[in-house]
């Protein structure tokens, strides 16, 4: 508890990142990883392998951009720093431990950046109390370079999560159907932004969940608010929440896919 509180108080980040819950979530992921590390092992290894495979086949070796670098659990950072002139780690918040790791390598840059483009706008809108949802825009993933490779790394399904929770809490007049449609558009806009890039692009993302009940029940659903993606080039299961993590009654798995766009 104390280390988490210390991280919460000492991580530099803008007010909206703290107040909307992005910082809290980043710290919570670290806690989940400590509890579920064994169950997550295969997913993290396969994610790192997919990033390295994309790096190997990449046509240029200038900059590589990692969207959703987070705690670097699924980022083969040393290998990327050796293979590319520059590694640009992009996340809405970088914890101090990540900053320390990045500093040790000479060619790693951190960018605090909202991949969804709507977090600050939503935060500002909340102050007006108007029950409208901000317009979505394509994000610019160039960061002052022409990246040879952009990897969207286990972030796609996460983009609407905190905005959705924030809207439900602070803008309750927004209808649930509108919110779900908007969440789907956040995911779709990210996918379209990746497709529009000139360099090589690798998307690694979960797209479905499987809830396995202790009583033998099985429920399957989309983690992308129903957005359909093409068949992934490879796929695996992420045991994200073994029995006891989210509930004593069910475990949850995610279907993760890899696409080169
Ligand atoms: C499931 S984690 C991805 C795993 C991560 N690569 C790691 O190793 O920890 C999702 C990441 O997306 C980031 N994220 C969520 N919404 C974001 C946004 N709008 N812009 C940028 N990053 C965001 C979170 O901070 C988190 O680090």
Q: Classify residue 48: in a domain, yes or no.
A: yes
Ligand 1 pocket, mutate which of 137, 158, 159, 194 (most atoms under 8 A from CB): 158
Q: Classify residue 241: in a domain, yes or no.
A: no
Q: Classify residue 251: in a domain, yes or no.
A: no
Q: Is 119 in the pocket of ligand 1 (CB under 6 A)?
A: yes
**Which residue bears the tokens 């690694």?**
204
Q: Classify residue 159: in a domain, yes or no.
A: yes
Q: Is 136 in the pocket of ligand 1 (CB under 6 A)?
A: no
Tens digits of residue pLDDT in 95-114: 999 999 999 999 999 999 99
Max CA separation in the chain (angstroms): 53
**Cα–Cα separations (whole angstroms), residue 65 to 139, 195, 201, 224:** 13, 15, 9, 23
Average pLDDT over residues 205-220: 96
Average pLDDT across the chain, whole number: 94
Tens digits of residue pLDDT in 186-205: 999 999 999 999 999 999 99
Q: Classify residue 215: in a domain, yes or no.
A: no
Question: What residues pair up with 87 in beta bridges, in sequence order?
Answer: 64, 108
Count CB-CB contacts under 10 A for residue 5.
10
Percent of the chain with pLDDT over 70: 100
Domain containing 28: what range? 2-204
Task: Supply the CATH number for residue 169's domain.
Answer: 3.40.50
Nearest CA residue ID for atom 12, ligand 1:
68
Ligand 1 pocket, mutate which of 51, 75, 91, 207 (most atoms under 8 A from CB): 91
Q: Classify residue 227: in a domain, yes or no.
A: no
Q: Is 81 in the pocket of ligand 1 (CB under 6 A)?
A: no
pLDDT score recorded for residue 128: 83
> How many folded domains does the chain comprise?
1
pLDDT score recorded for residue 225: 95
Structure token digits, residue 31: 């806690």
Q: How far is the CA of 135 from the centre of ligand 1 (A)?
A: 21
Q: How far is the CA of 26 from the centre of ligand 1 (A)?
A: 8
> Can you tell me whether residue 44 is helix, strand or coil?
helix
The Cα–Cα gap between 151 and 4 comes to 29
Q: Is 93 in the pocket of ligand 1 (CB under 6 A)?
A: yes
What is the torsion angle, in degrees rounded to the nearest 10, for the CA atoms of residue 205, residue 228, residue 142 and residue 63? 40
Q: Classify residue 127: in a domain, yes or no.
A: yes
Q: Classify residue 27: in a domain, yes or no.
A: yes
Nearest CA residue ID for atom 26, ligand 1:
70
């Amino acid at each position: 508890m104390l280390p988490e509180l210390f991280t919460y108080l000492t991580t530099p980040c803008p007010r909206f990142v703290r107040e909307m819950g992005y910082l809290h979530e980043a710290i919570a992921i670290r806690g989940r990883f400590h509890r579920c590390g064994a169950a997550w092992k295969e997913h993290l290894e396969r994610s790192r392998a997919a990033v390295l495979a994309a790096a190997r086949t990449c046509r240029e070796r200038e900059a590589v951009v990692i969207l959703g670098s987070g705690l670097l659990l699924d980022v083969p950072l040393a290998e990327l720093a050796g293979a590319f002139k520059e590694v640009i780690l992009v996340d809405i918040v970088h914890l101090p431990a990540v900053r320390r790791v990045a500093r040790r390598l000479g060619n790693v840059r951190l960018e605090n950046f909202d991949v969804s483009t709507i977090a600050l706008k939503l935060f500002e809108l909340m102050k007006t109390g108007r029950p409208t949802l901000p317009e979505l825009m394509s994000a610019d993933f160039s960061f002052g370079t022409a990246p040879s490779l952009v990897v969207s790394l286990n972030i796609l399904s996460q983009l609407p999560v905190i905005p959705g929770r924030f809207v439900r809490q602070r803008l309750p007049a927004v209808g649930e159907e509108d919110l779900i449609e908007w969440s789907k558009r956040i995911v779709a806009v990210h996918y379209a932004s990746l497709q529009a890039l000139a360099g090589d692009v690798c998307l690694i993302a979960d797209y479905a969940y499987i809830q396995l009940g202790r009583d033998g029940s099985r429920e399957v659903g989309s983690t992308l608010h129903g957005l359909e993606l093409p068949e992934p080039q490879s796929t695996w299961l992420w045991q994200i929440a073994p029995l006891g993590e989210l509930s004593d009654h069910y475990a949850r798995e995610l279907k993760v896919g890899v696409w080169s766009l």
